[in-house]
Amino acid sequence: VKVGNNILIADGSISIRVDSIESETVLKGTVLNSKKLGERKNCNLPGVKVDIPVLTESDIHDVQNFCCKNRMDFLAASFVQTGEDVRFIRRILDEAGGQNVQIICKIENEAGMENFDEILKYTDGVMVARGDLGMEIPSEKVALAQKMLITKCNIAGKFVIVATQMLESMCENPLPTRAEMLDVANAVFDGADATMLSGETANGAFPAKAVATMAAITRNAEEGVNHSQVYNFIRDFTPMPVGTIEAVVACASKTAVDIPDLGCIVVFSESGYRANLTSKYRPRCPIIVITHNQSVVKHTNSVFGQYAFQIPIPATWATEKKYLQGAVEYAVEKNLCKPGAMVVVIGGVPQDVVVTKEAASSHVIPSFGITTAPGMWKKMQRTGSTLINPEYAKESSVRTISLRATAISLEEVFSPNAPVRKTKIVCTMGPKCWDEETMAELIDEGMDVARFNFSHGDHEAHQAVLDRFRKVCAEKKSNCAVLLDTKGPEVRTAMLRNHEPIQLVKDQEIIVYAAGPDEYTTFEGYKTEEETKIGCSYAKLCQSVQPGNKLLFADGSVVIKVLEIIDDRNLRGLVMNDKMLGERKNGNLPGVKVELDVLQAKDVDDIINFACKNKMDFVAVSFVQTGADVLSVRKILDENGGQDIQIISKIENEEGVANIDDILKYSDGIMVARGDLGMEIPSQKVALAQKMLITKANVAGRFVICATQMLESMCDNPLPTRAEMTDVANAVFDGVDGTMLSGETANGAFPAKTVATMAAINANAELGIDYWQQYNFLHRGNAGSHTITTLEASLANVALSAVEFSADKDGDGVISAEETVPIVVLTEDGIAADLISKYRPPSAVFVATNSQRVVNHTGSRFGQIPVFLEPGQYNIAGAVKAASAVAKAMDIPFEGNRVLVVSCKNDGFVHTAAVAHVVTVLNGVHTPAPTEPMPTTYTDPGKLNTVTSKRGSKISLEDILTPADSFRKTKIVCTMGPKCWDEDTMRSLLREGMGVARFNFSHGDHEAQQAVLNRYRAACAKEGAAMKEELGLDYTPHWASLMDTKGPEIRTAMLRDGEPIYLVKDQAITIEAVGDDYTTFQGYKTESETRIGLSYAKLCQSVKVGNNILIADGSISI
């Protein structure tokens, strides 16, 4: 380390800044936060190349005496930093008989990322290990790093696993958070071959359910992948020329794109090489790998789309046809291929039997053909040699195509720089943030809109908060907007006898009484020996549902399946799970159109007597289901002086998703309200719905906000989970205008820090957006399908000019604010500014207006910065001068820069066109910019070493509302631990979808791990035999095992008397690099000095002054 480095201890909970290097083994630093420090806490040294071998002596012992001895399938090596590290591991494996063990390199620090291309040459696969990676690089950069690493693996044809905190909340809860659902799905969209569960299976309360949930999310995400776009992207970026084998395999994979109903691809592969090349191109259908090689069979469990069909001896000319027939029949039996579907065959086998890997079929020129699976598929028709599938054509015509284009350089991942944030932040007011001091902090950290949730509180309480908020805004000269969120129509359970909760038991019958809105507060449900009966506030319950529907209560924790409609007020149902049910619990009716007015009497009163009276800026309307709902809200607003209040339609159920096009016509913006939406549609479909809704809003030019559980863990913790980091970033990549915080600011322990974290993630995600691709998609893709106005056409060209003028001029890998061209829009109504924002330019859009309403509405629009014009300033000169002053206050480069100035022509009724000028500004005065040739194509010198990624999705309403019928291709790795290492639970995990069992050698000894491995293999044998008999298979299915090394690590030393010491922010601390003596050295804190030891002997040679040392998972920073 060097002066200035940071040392992070205890998962980053303690941070220590290095101030001076005192000697070979002692440095002095400053503690950056208050935290109690214990013994043997893990450490991270961000930005420091740690000079410790990739395999310690303990690791080598584990590898040779456990992994090789037990013929495990994979070795995951921690903290791989160079290609030489991989070659060293390969030698250790080969010397101990581990030639068939594949190496997975865990990328966990800066050095691993810097040397990633070299690592890829020698490794078999990669793990994006987001735990330590999020300590070694800033947490807001993790999403960029993940996309970059996955894309590089995809192009290289190496499998890649995404790991750490994917379904973290399922350690304790039976359902994941919305952020986790989206994180898993986005890993699939990014191109991961597999996703991994750690503590969720090892120590969680619901290991099998966690696997089932992950399997469902990945399978449904795969339905939304635009395979044609993905194939073209990988093919375009693969270095040419390719070898003969890859050329044939690529053609076969292309066929899977050209024939949408292709059943499967069958490939003969004795070494796995052909099969892996096939997976590289991400075909939409399963890949059946015919092989005799047991190692190849096991390794299919980690690679996208592969399923093994094992044969007794390698195939030859004489047996190729027989084995092909058997493989196709197996695929049909296991529902991997539909009967009668076309099947692509990648053949080509030796004339005679060979069993050596060197002489395997991978080195025979492959053949390529098409056959048909046995059976009849009624959906398919053939005319001559042409495949006709009218259903597919019909389905494709109503799919929403989206493009998430990113361009990410290594400099962007490591650089602390970020552009001016363009994605807005909505914060919910509540007890933890509605004092004036905290409100001011939220504004300072990046809040753009304050949300008032009228599901709680009365007018008097909300008025007091609003008055305080506007006082703070006035003092800070902030244009932060205010939003009223209606309570909306709701379904709730009625009262209970003696107000005591009742215990519902799985498989018991229950009567549900439609008490209605008036009676449900007096009706009392009960449970007796004869029957259980509860009430519900929805009067038309029995007219709306039918047998087979499900009723969800208490945030989905109670599920009741409808068995029979008894009469107009009563139905009989079956309880699906054990749970205690209380009074007034919220209810959801998935798939049912709830016949309740979008505005209830309370909502109308709230809008008229609070929103209109207080001239609020937005009303967010809950459970909007139709365009008519929006019109009814507009009517009430207009009749009560709320003409300037904009409507945000919250999409929260199936009807809202189904009618989104009609809703968008009349809404000013929409909110993807993932809380109730995840109850109303299957949770695994939320990611598809989010992408579809955001894309439709983008194309329609309506602003869109993503909400619910985005940084949920920050209600209690100062750092978000890895899933939450990537969820927020992916919302930005998807195209949102704003992201929203709910309980995180209203009731969380760290409201201001949460806003700062979201602002940092948003800004850094914007770094990775490929604005050129995004513009082309919006303008020439979906937007090109309908006629646009003259005004929009001219403003689209303004956005294009902003893209073309922007470039990384200093070559630091970041298009910073001074390298973009600011846009100044002179507008009275905001329409011109909104149309520019629609096309997502990389520039700040200064909205110069004399309307306070327009000023406030910029808080919901991507990239817009308000500039209020005083009387006499409403002209181009006044707009430029005022925008220059705002830019200076916000530290946005403006003076001396080229600036695009836009004004609109108006014929007195409507805007007809926009006029744009390119000017330079000096001292607030503009002059025409020097004439420069416009670039004919978009070039960006800083992006020459950039990893471009185009992740397309193609999602229909049917994809969201119907069960997935495709076979899952993304694999699942599960960590073994106390909660899952009994044989019965292991078999449950296998049934639910586990492909690889991970053995974590950071804990336990060989004896304990051996016992677990033996049980695992016994469970595999029993479950395989059961599946063989159940499915009538010709062979027994196999599952793989993976050993994860402890790897090099840094830990704090012992402490006097074994007692933790309390570190205080800004205190000085001395750190001694005690090396192997860390188990005997004892740190201490006295009045004169605080001294601790670290196990890293070369600490003082590695860090420099200014570095940070993170300790205890980053909870301590020095």
Catalytic residues: 451, 492, 650, 708
Q: What is the DSSP letter of 968?
A: P
CA distance linking residue 353 with residue 725, whole number of Å:
52
Which residue's entry shows tokens 């039918």? 546
Give helix 142-156 / helix 227-237 axis angle, nearest 10°: 70
Q: Which two tokens stand for residue 801?
A: 């000019």
Which tokens belong to 1031?
């499915």
Instruction: Say if CB 142 and CB 136 are below 8 A apart.
Output: no
Which 3 state secondary structure label does DSSP give 503?
A: strand
Nearest to 217 by CA among 559, 723, 590: 723
Would you state the structure tokens that stand for residue 773, as one six-digit string? 């691709």
Specify the amino acid at residue 365: I
Whether the Cβ atoms of residue 126 and residue 153 lie closer than 8 Å to each other: yes
Secondary structure of residue 629 in the 3-state scheme: helix
Locate tokens 């670290």: which residue? Answer: 1094
Instruction: Provide CB contacts within 8 A for 708, sequence distance 6+.
Output: 178, 673, 674, 675, 678, 740, 742
The 3-class secondary structure across 56-86, one letter per residue, is CHHHHHHHHHHHCCCCCCEEEECCCCCHHHH
> Which residues is 307 bridged to in the sheet?
288
CB 378 within 8 A of CB 249: no
Query: What are the contacts of 472-475 at 24+ separation with CB within 8 A?
Result: 472/436, 472/439, 472/440, 472/443, 473/443, 475/440
Q: Bridge partners of 825?
A: 847, 902
Residue 749 CA to residue 427 CA, distance in Å, equals: 14
The tokens describing 983, both together, are: 């044989």
Alpha carbons within 13 angstroms on the beta-carbon side of residue 697 total 33
| 276 vs 289: CA distance, rounded Å | 10
Tokens of 377: 């598929």
- For 930, the token pair is 């020097």
Q: DSSP for 333-394?
A: HTTSS-TT-EEEEEE---SS---SGGGSGGGSPPEEEEEE-SS--TT-EEETTEEE-HHHHH
Say how far residue 322 (Cα) sits from the centre of its chain. 44
Interaxial angle between packed helices 983-992 and 207-223, expressed in degrees from 0 to 180 and rounded to the nearest 10: 10
Give the chain's radius of gyration (CA, Å): 30
